[in-house]
Structure 1
Amino acid sequence: MRLESSAFNGGQPIPERYTCDGEDVSPPLQISDVPKGCKSLAMFVDDPDAPVGTFDHWIVWNLHPKTNDLAEGVSLPHEGENGFGTVGWRGPCPPRGSPHRYFFRLYALDTMLPLREGSNREEVEEAMEGHILEKAELMGTYRRK
């Protein structure tokens, strides 16, 4: 399985447009090579370099397994509570200084997740347990000026 973005390459800076310093919309993402038997996709976007520990920017589940593209700024039906205390995408917004890494982790699951809108990361991870078929990862960086 592969996860890519037309806005940035893996290991490269995430454009300002997708951060708190810009439009704060989610970047476009492309998904390919989803394994057979996949019933849904789930994704976490987080910053492990945050001063408070890993900080969630986007939690998504029950994406259709035939999803190839997530358009820029897309709003999805099954989104969880991020580290800002809101539901949906909130882009990189690190303290000024060193760059932070942002991991987009996509999971192919053998089930749909019976979760309520706004579920938190722990609830999503618990529901995913034992159902992960495959994982793909994309990492971008961001440094505030």
Structure 2
Amino acid sequence: MKTLRIKSNAFNDGMWIPVKYSARGEDLSPDFEISGIAPNAKSIAITFDDASHPIFPNYNHWVIWNIPIREIIPEGIPSGKFVDSLGGAVQGVAYGRNRYKGPKPPLKSIHTYVFTVYILDSKLDLAASCRKRDLIANINGHILQEATLSGKFQSRR
């Protein structure tokens, strides 16, 4: 099986996430380019976590699932439980309630954030009130591939 790869035009892996994609800027989700998707894939799920949160490790900022298989996911996914522009994908409850919520660490601290893309062998029957823990419990045994993209962010104001 091919190796799953994820990249973004917004920032390179391990580098700085631009303010535009943070809660201190326009709070837009970045675009993703996904390559090497398994031929038997049925859907995509994405989580976004603050890997440096001092109190809540891997604090979840965004969770979305049932994205139809595609190689390009555009930036600026609109808020709401269901995303019509992504084939009815479902956004669950995280720091961004049914929406993307970008980085916003305390002033001057540097945090690392991780996007995880899951390629699944099925679509999920989960309510939009579900959280990351519900997603992870339900994709167990359905993950065909997984890849991450990380970036760092520092609040300067």
TM-score by length of 1: 0.93
Name 2:59's counterpart in structure 1.
55
Which structure 1 segments of 5+ residues have no match? none
Name 2:91's counterpart in structure 1.
79
Which structure 2 segments of 5+ residues have no match? 84-88
Percent sequence identity is 34
Of the three residues 127, 134, 144, the one matched with 1:123 is: 134
Of the three residues 18, 23, 26, the one matched with 1:20 is: 23
SS in 1 for 2:90: coil
Aligned AA for 2:125? P
SS in 2 for 1:78: strand
Name 1:109's counterpart in structure 2.
120
Please list every run of at least 4 consecutive aligned residues from structure 1 whose deviation after the TM superposition is greater than 2 angstroms: none
Alignment RMSD (CA, Å): 1.2
Of the three residues 131, 142, 145, the one matched with 2:153 is: 142
* Structure 1 residue 117, shift from structure 2 partner: 1.5
User: Between Structure 1 and Structure 2, how many residues are aligned?
Assistant: 143
Deviations 1:81-134 (A, max 9, x none): 1125x1110000001133111101001111111101231111111110111111
Name 2:43's counterpart in structure 1.
40
Name 2:86's counterpart in structure 1.
none
The within-5 A match list for 1:94-105 is 94-105=105-116
